[in-house]
Amino acid sequence: MKKLRTFLTFLLALTTVSLWAQVSVRVQAPSEVIQGDRFRVSYVVNTSDVDDFQIAGFEGLVELYGPSRSSSSSFSMVNGKTTSSSSVTFTYTVTTDKPGTFHIPAATVVSDGKTVKSASPSITVLPSGSASSGGSAHSQSQGQPQADAHADRMRTQNVGDRITNKDIFIAVTASKKRVFEQEAVLVTYKLYTLVNVSTLEGKMPELDGFHVQEIGRQRQPQLKMEHYNGKNYGTVVWSQYVLFPQQTGTLTIPEIKYEAVILQQNRSADPFDIFFGGGSMVQEVHKTVIAPAVTLNVDALPTPKPANFSGAVGRFSLNSSLTPQQLKSNEATTLRLVVKGTGNMKLMKAPTVAWPKDFESYDPKTEDNTKIGSTGSTGSVVYDYIAVPRHQGKYELPAAEFCYFDPDAREYKTIKAEPYTIDVAKGKGGSSSASSNLTKEEVELLNSDIRYIKSGEPNYLNPDDALFGSTRYWLIYGAALLIAAILFYVFRRQAVANADLAGRRGRGASKVATKRLKVARKLLAQNNATAFYEETMKALWGYVSDKLNIPVSELTKDNVRERLTERQLSADLTDQFLRTLDDCEFARFAPGDPAATMDKIYASAEQVINQMETELKRK
């Protein structure tokens, strides 16, 4: 009877959850494909109760077969709470016969008497072309994520194939070539590649005549396919900078050198040799990619400039508030000015406020709520002005003004805040007389020759209490000499240690490798195999580079073996280190259980680094 009751509760909960769920249809399809590719278009309905499913024709696309129907469901009960889900997926296999931009047809689903319609996303079909200098492009595997499919297209080049500037290059574009001084310019560096790029490093040099702000990008940018000069490149916006010219004339953004590491396949490698540490399936090739220089023509701001010009260039608005407007003398009031807009907001001056002469005012407190974007700094800057009235009365606070230059209108504009009337009542100890309300400190500030006369008994200094020549004096003098000698010794040892750069790198090699292995451990937990192996190899290569003082450009397995032998490291430990490197390289492309392989390689890398560190310290 108890089992029957539990089963009925289960069915009731499952039915209730299904009734409450709102039916929706999600479309899964790549955003871009290449002419002639086969790919899948899937319609996922979040319920198994589907009475009817219909789509219009694939206009501009060729339907090969479909729909194939698949179902899935799940049920869970945690802490008495029941959750369930079910879905039905209708999948079509589609190909293309001409380039262009087309729309995936919307699906119409009837469920429990209700009709639901899906979205109709667009798909870009690129012309067929060479996807790699090493061979033709692979077609996308069914069910493979689009980002991975793009990456597969980049993996066709073999070891020994020459990498040219047409296989990988960086295009530089500026949003404007002629601008005004202080006007924002967006400079974009876009990578085009036909090869598999493992890493790409380079940064903007220090620029004279510019204020530079970098726009943040994704940590793992995804490639998108783009047809360019008859080839289908993998492209990604690698970096973007917003520049604010600080001087006029012709200014040049110099070329940037990027160092790329490209992976090539070693198809001639023997799998058995690789398995036993005698080779590798991939080979890293270093190539310098130069992003060309860009020249900008910077015009001076029109003259004469208004006297109240804030230095702001862009488009702005001004809002204000005063709290409180009714107060007593010697109490504070706050005027808040909020400048909103887009432009060089980090370089502009605060608006000037003309407080009444009987108010004591202070410099404004600034709160920056801006973020960098393609058009410059966007958001708001809040200025809080605090002032204290010293006497009662009614005062007029003029409207605050903010003057800026609008580059689109090519003219200066002045915007005003709201004027305010401030009622000040007599406060505690206050007076309508200006002099009667001044404090002792305020009188002292009126003129440097006005001082209050001190009262009380004078305090004379006893000559016998003089410090110079006393026992205390010589004790302090000796202690100072001793401290100076100790500091000289300590700083000298520190200077000698800092001068030994190779020694510093060697002593810190284990610490750097440990940090990298911690990052690899996190990637292992996330099951990110590609990034895990890259970080583990960096930890291994970086350790021997720092420990043995070998430049990165000269790192080879033969060099490492030779240097470890010179340091009298045991042959078994040397072989274990090199075998761990080979296992890491092989595992990136080997089939099998990736989680188990990553666990094994991580443990091996951690063990061999710790053992090497211990043995090398003894030598």
Q: Which among 413-417, 578-582, 592-596 has the top mean pLDDT?
A: 413-417
C-alpha span between 271 and 280 (Å, rounded): 8
Same domain, 156 and 222: yes
- Cβ atoms of 342 and 182 within 8 Å: the answer is no
Place of tokens 């002005």: 385
Give the side-chain half-sphere CA count within 13 A for 562. Answer: 8
C-alpha span between 316 and 320 (Å, rounded): 14
Domain holding 36, by residue range, is: 2-126
Same domain, 84 and 182: no
Q: Is residue 267 part of a domain?
A: yes
Where residue 292 sits, what CATH number does that domain have?
2.60.40
Judged by DSSP in three states, 411 sits in: strand
Same domain, 97 and 152: no
pLDDT band of residue 9 (cuts 50, 70, 90) is low
pLDDT band of residue 15 (cuts 50, 70, 90) is very low
Query: Whole-number mean pLDDT of the chain?
Result: 80
C-alpha span between 527 and 594 (Å, rounded): 8
pLDDT band of residue 558 (cuts 50, 70, 90) is confident
- Determine the average pLDDT of the residues in 523-547: 84
The predicted structure's pLDDT at residue 14: 46
Same domain, 516 and 610: yes
What are the tokens at 219? Answer: 């940590």
The predicted structure's pLDDT at residue 298: 95
Same domain, 286 and 351: no
From 299, 332, 363, the end of a domain falls on 299
CA distances, 309 to each of 153, 313, 335, 377, 460 (Å): 55, 10, 20, 19, 58
Q: Which tens digits make up the pLDDT trace of 214-271? A: 988 766 778 888 888 888 898 999 999 999 999 999 999 999 999 999 888 765 555 5
Tell whether the model's pLDDT for residue 485 goes beyond 70.
Answer: yes
Q: Is residue 466 part of a domain?
A: no
Which has more pLDDT, 465 or 440? 465
Which range, of 79-83, 183-187, 572-576, averages the lowest pLDDT? 79-83
DSSP letter for each residue of 316-361: EEEEEEEE-SEEETT--EEEEEEEEEEE-TTTPPPPB----TTEEE
Place of tokens 């200006």: 434
Q: Is residue 488 part of a domain?
A: no
Report residue 142 CA to chain centroid gap: 32
Same domain, 292 and 320: no
Same domain, 53 and 79: yes
C-alpha span between 49 and 15 (Å, rounded): 11
Same domain, 292 and 338: no
C-alpha span between 415 and 403 (Å, rounded): 6
- Determine the average pLDDT of the residues in 435-464: 53
Give me the number of domains the chain comprises.
4
Diameter of the chain by CA atoms?
110
Q: Which tens digits make up the pLDDT trace of 48-103? A: 788 888 888 888 888 888 888 888 877 676 666 767 778 889 899 989 888 888 88
Same domain, 416 and 380: yes
